[in-house]
Amino acid sequence: MTFADQYGPWSIIAGASEGTGSAFARKVAAKGVNCILIARREGPLAALAGQIRAESNVECVTASIDLSAPDACDRIVATAGSREVGLFISNAGSDPNGSHFLDRKIETWIELANINQLTTMRCCHHFGGLMKARRRGALLLVGSQACYGGGKFLATYSGSKAFALCFAESLWAELKPANVDVLYFALAQTDTPALRKLVAGKGLPPPRRMASPEAVAEVGLAHLGRGPVYNWGQLVGLRAAWRRTRIRIVDVLTRQVFGEG
């Protein structure tokens, strides 16, 4: 089976306007799969759709949808319509705040949790159910190694990514007999416009040794059938003592992004 046979004819990339989302969309299209691009900002989506059509000669549909909104999944489903979606990529959910939990209003964190948990869960239920019935397809949840433990700037972010990890592992076990692939892709620091904007806003230089979005997308798609989890780079072990060590390491690393605090 070709990639398009297994994961086509249509894909949805939620959070497609820039960074890893844009890279995933272009690489999926290059494999001959039509794209439905979802994000809040219409301008970048339209520009990306034009680029994809020119590069890969596939169909491309865009929709401006706030993924933190309660009706986000309903609007994505309506955009897909009767199109057969064989690949759903949940790529949104970065934290633009760089803040301690109690230094922001709770509504800020609810919006982040909606993106990483409720909208993702609803979309996986809808599109995953259709894939199960067809006995082919894939759900790719692009996450973070923050899923493995917290840090003082990461309360809602790491908590919601931990949910996504456990959720993906469970779906992988449930859907594997139906020939539907599920992968949680745990990223380390990646060179995205969102991350650069965050560190610039805090007067800090970009972190060292960031992964490129293009490399991330290439590796993620290559590992779709090797779920439930793929970790980018090195991880600190997960025993209790190792988790304490990891939190200390995360605190050091996040100073490159969030500063002292």
The pLDDT tens digits of the residues spanning 161-205 come to 999 999 999 999 999 999 999 999 999 888 887 888 888 888 888
| Average confidence (pLDDT) over 2-26 | 96
Distance between CA atoms of 34 and 105, rounded to whole angstroms?
Answer: 39
Band (147; pLDDT cuts 50, 70, 90): very high
Band (257; pLDDT cuts 50, 70, 90): confident
- Residues 56-92 pLDDT 10s: 999 999 999 999 999 999 999 999 999 999 999 999 8
Residue 237 has pLDDT above 60, yes or no: no
What burial class does residue 106 get, using C-beta atoms within 10 Å of its C-beta: 0-12 exposed, 13-18 middle, 19+ buried? exposed
For residue 1, the model assigns a pLDDT of 84
For residue 181, the model assigns a pLDDT of 98
- Domains, the chain, ordered by start: 3-258 (3.40.50.720)
Give the percent of the chain with pLDDT over 90: 73
Q: Are strands 85-90 and 10-14 parallel, antiparallel or unpaired?
A: parallel
Residues ≥6 apart with Cβ < 8 Å to 105: none
Give the percent of the chain with pLDDT over 70: 94
Distance between CA atoms of 146 and 115, rounded to whole angstroms?
Answer: 16
